[in-house]
Structure 1
């Protein structure tokens, strides 16, 4: 009888123990799931998903060019475009002057680049001349943007565009430079500086 009672007690305790174990596992799994969700939420807050790069289409004298993001590495062909870019407080990584200059790198731009060298604060590469830029030298720089005058480069537009988004603008010595300035400022996301540059120019002439 004692053995039978012991067996009966054990038999009765099995469902109770099973229920306790099941409850413990449920609580443990629920806690783990909650912790995982909290961890994922913390990661999402710490590392938010990056927004896609904004692209815009720029109209210019040879058509239109799509530019994504803000260009940081710009190659400039010609002194006129260089002056506009410098006025917006941007520095080129490569430059092609009107004349062939005997320097591979403009490591002393104040002495090497005519007229505008003192305003160049970095050391851009020499990428040829305005009418004969070196496509190989430009490609090695991996620019985000190529900026230049149509003069001498209209037939090279397709080749330049294969290297990087390219804007070729018509140089106009009168008020046309203001239009070019606005186009360049829009591309470089510095439109807020446009009027300051124009006002400063007008004050110098007054």
Structure 2
């Protein structure tokens, strides 16, 4: 009969609980400070903004939603297993994957209780102060995955792009941010999901006190004509979610064409999926800012 050394078993137990193997880091989440194990091996990520930033840090998760929407994440489709949708994690697929960490946010955050029963779970929803929270998320993921230096590089690059875009926009006039959804149009101002374009860039609002709620203020073409923005910043929801887009056709009418924005060719059609689906992700923000920088830089002051 094989004999076991009690001292050996105690030593093994101590080793298994050593700081090296059990190292953790405390990070801020949408639900407060959370202690997370460092360098998790198997990670499932459902929030596209989180996936965007984690991907930018050079990390490839093991599980992702079945649709990723943004082109620059396409390489993950073949590298990770689909474990649900953007809104609904597949609990059976997650259990089979056996993740060490699950990251939710935004659209998937309502499933926190069900998912957290399977593995340690973070709710990394970004909402109130998109730029500050996005920077914090970069730092948090850097600490979790042990790539702090890379995280600081991304934060510095984001800060530089924000400053450069704000400088290019200075003195170029007011802007109205609108989202089209087929024939429907909504406007967004400070405090809204797209309001960071005003606050972070110090970009004057063409119309103040818009509803900051998720779906914005439903507006008419007459409203756009009356507000008469110097810049019209457009997000096409249909195109963002992979349906037939049509923002340019929706806005192609005499009322919109009579605005200063149209007359000066200052209507900016942003790449829709990054800002609508992945808002707050590092690559999303960099792409949106690059598009705005190009437009503002090419305009006369």
Under a length normalisation based on structure 1, what TM-score does the superposition of the two structures give? Answer: 0.60
1:145 maps to 2:101: yes
- How many Å separate the matches in 1 of 2:43 and 2:76? 13
Counterpart position of 1:78: 47
Q: 1:64 to 1:176 in 2, by over 3 A?
A: closer
Task: Looking at secondary structure, tell me which structure has more helix per residue.
Answer: 1
Q: 1:170 aligns with which of 125, 138, 143?
A: 125
Describe how 1:15-164 pairs up with structure 2 within 5 A: 51-52=18-19, 53-96=22-65, 101=67, 114-118=70-74, 120=76, 123-149=79-105, 151-164=106-119
Is the Cα contact below 8 Å between 2:89 and 2:111 reproduced in 1?
Answer: no
Structure 1: tracts of 5 or more residues without a match: 1-48, 102-111
Give 1:203 shift.
4.4
Helix, strand or coil for the counterpart of 2:40? coil
- How many Å separate the matches in 1 of 2:23 and 2:47? 28
RMSD across aligned positions (CA): 2.9
Structure 2: tracts of 5 or more residues without a match: 1-14, 165-301
Is the Cα contact below 8 Å between 2:104 and 2:112 reproduced in 1?
Answer: no
Is the Cα contact below 8 Å between 1:77 and 1:95 reproduced in 2?
Answer: yes
Q: 1:200 to 1:85 in 2, by over 3 A?
A: same
Give 1:95 shift.
0.6
Helix, strand or coil for the counterpart of 1:153? helix
Q: Which moved more, 1:180-189 or 1:118-127?
A: 118-127
Aligned pairs, how many?
A: 146
Under a length normalisation based on structure 2, what TM-score does the superposition of the two structures give? Answer: 0.42
Is the Cα contact below 8 Å between 1:57 and 1:64 reproduced in 2?
Answer: yes
Is the Cα contact below 8 Å between 2:43 and 2:61 reproduced in 1?
Answer: yes
Is the Cα contact below 8 Å between 1:75 and 1:145 reproduced in 2?
Answer: yes
Q: 1:132 to 1:184 in 2, by over 3 A?
A: same
Is the Cα contact below 8 Å between 1:66 and 1:165 reproduced in 2?
Answer: no
CA shift digits 1:56-77 (9 cap, x unpaired): 4434212444323421211111
Give 1:156 shift.
1.9
Is the Cα contact below 8 Å between 2:37 and 2:144 reproduced in 1?
Answer: no
- How many Å separate the matches in 2 of 1:122 and 1:85? 17
Give 1:170 shift.
2.1
Helix, strand or coil for the counterpart of 1:66? strand
